[in-house]
Amino acid sequence: MGSILSLLDLVLPFFGVIALGYFCGRRIKLPVAGLAWMQFFLIYVSLPMLFYRLIADKPLSELTNWPFVFGTTLSTYCVFALSFAIGLFFTRGNLPQAVMQGVAGAYSNIGYMGPPLILAALGPAASAPVVLIFVFDNLLLFSLIPFLMALAGVEKKSFGQTAREVAWKVATHPFNIATVLGVAAAFMKLQLPSALDKMTLWLSGAAAPCALFLLGVTVAIRPMEKMPPEVPALMFVKLVMHPLLILLLLSLIGDFPPAWVFAAMIMAALPPALNIFVISTQYGVGVERASASILVGTIASMVTLTMFLWLIREGHMPHDLFPRG
Across 214-228, average pLDDT: 78
**Residue 105 burial class via C-beta count within 10 angstroms: exposed 0-12, middle 13-18, buried 19 and up:** buried
Per the model's pLDDT, the better-predicted residue between 127 and 70 turns out to be: 70
pLDDT given for residue 157 in this prediction: 66
pLDDT given for residue 281 in this prediction: 76
pLDDT over 80 at 217, yes or no: yes
Strand, helix or coil for residue 267: helix
> What residues are paired with 272 via a beta bridge?
108
User: 10: Cβ–Cβ under 8 A, 6 or more apart, which residues?
Assistant: 117, 120, 121, 309
pLDDT given for residue 67 in this prediction: 95
pLDDT digits (tens, 9 = 90+) for 228-264: 889 999 999 999 999 999 999 999 998 899 999 999 9
pLDDT over 70 at 223, yes or no: no
Per the model's pLDDT, the better-predicted residue between 282 and 297 turns out to be: 297
pLDDT given for residue 283 in this prediction: 78
Rounded CA separation 25/6 (Å): 29
pLDDT given for residue 240 in this prediction: 96
Q: In which band, very low, low, confident or very high, does the pLDDT at 198 lie, cut at 50, 70 and 90?
A: very high
pLDDT digits (tens, 9 = 90+) for 149-185: 877 766 666 667 777 877 787 778 787 788 888 888 8
Rounded CA separation 299/19 (Å): 10
**Residue 115 burial class via C-beta count within 10 angstroms: exposed 0-12, middle 13-18, buried 19 and up:** buried
pLDDT over 90 at 300, yes or no: yes
Q: For the chain, which residues make up each domain, given as ranges?
A: 50-193+225-313
Rounded CA separation 37/59 (Å): 35
pLDDT over 70 at 130, yes or no: yes
pLDDT digits (tens, 9 = 90+) for 46-91: 888 887 887 887 777 777 899 999 999 999 999 999 999 999 999 8
Across 29-41, average pLDDT: 82
pLDDT given for residue 155 in this prediction: 61
